[in-house]
Amino acid sequence: MELQVQVVDHPLVRHSMAQLRNRHTPPELFRTLTRRVTTLLVIEATRSLRTRRQPVETPLETVQAQLLDEHLVVVPILRAGLGMLDAVVELFPDISVSIGYLGLERDEETAEASIYYSKLPPIEGKTVLLVDPMLATGGSVCHALSGIFPQHPQRVILACIVTAPEGVATVNQRFPQAEIFCAALDRELNSRNYILPGLGDFGDRLYGTI
């Protein structure tokens, strides 16, 4: 099956990914790089958001301008997804943005995810941007999507920094209507379901809890 995923190929993304992968990158720089890559990802992922025409007065004349015309719901998967949240909210200061939270924990032995916290705003008819830095097996994301799609969003966009083919295939199969954008599609999962070459545990590196 051909993988349905959009890899955002930009020189600044490639440069930032090299630094994110580097085991010697300190947490404070790791957080800055995460925000930078997230910004570039989300700009591409939201390219087709709906706009409306509205007259705007310039210092010289009136022009018909294009303004965003969608309500966006941003849902980070805790805890690592929080590292992507600020970059998204900063991009959309002038439109209505709601924030939901999903807490998912992966069992290190079974690699199965379970939900320990869920708080979602109304999402019917809205565009949902689900953010999670790592898409490995796809288990956590599918848990999240199984709680989002029954609420009838207009569209669901998944923004990840690093993905594995196995996780992308799982999401494609179970939720083909979800659009996936990432900064890197890596080679494979290892025997412990960690992404290779990957960058280690994203949350630990983000918060310095290694």
> Domain map of the chain by residue range?
6-207
Nearest to 196 by CA among 155, 167, 154, 173: 167
Q: Are 73 and 123 in contact (CB under 8 A)?
A: yes
| Torsion sign (Cα): 19, 22, 24, 25 | positive
Instruction: Give the residue-averaged pLDDT of 62-70.
Output: 92
Among 113-117, 149-153, 205-209, the minimum mean pLDDT is found in: 113-117
Q: Which residue is catalytic, options 79, 106, 155, 174?
A: 106
Tell me the per-residue pLDDT of 95-141, one tens digit each, with 9 for 90 and over: 778 999 988 776 666 556 677 878 899 999 999 999 999 999 999 89
The correct CATH number of 6-207 out of 3.30.310.50, 3.30.830.10, 3.40.50.2020, 3.40.605.10 is 3.40.50.2020
Known active-site residue 23: no
Q: Are 104 and 116 in contact (CB under 8 A)?
A: yes
Nearest to 184 by CA among 199, 203, 163, 169: 163
Mean pLDDT computed over every residue of the chain = 91
Known active-site residue 110: yes
Tell me the per-residue pLDDT of 154-194, one tens digit each, with 9 for 90 and over: 999 999 999 999 999 999 999 999 999 999 999 999 998 99
Entry pTM: 0.91
Q: Which residue is catalytic, options 50, 51, 204, 209?
A: 204
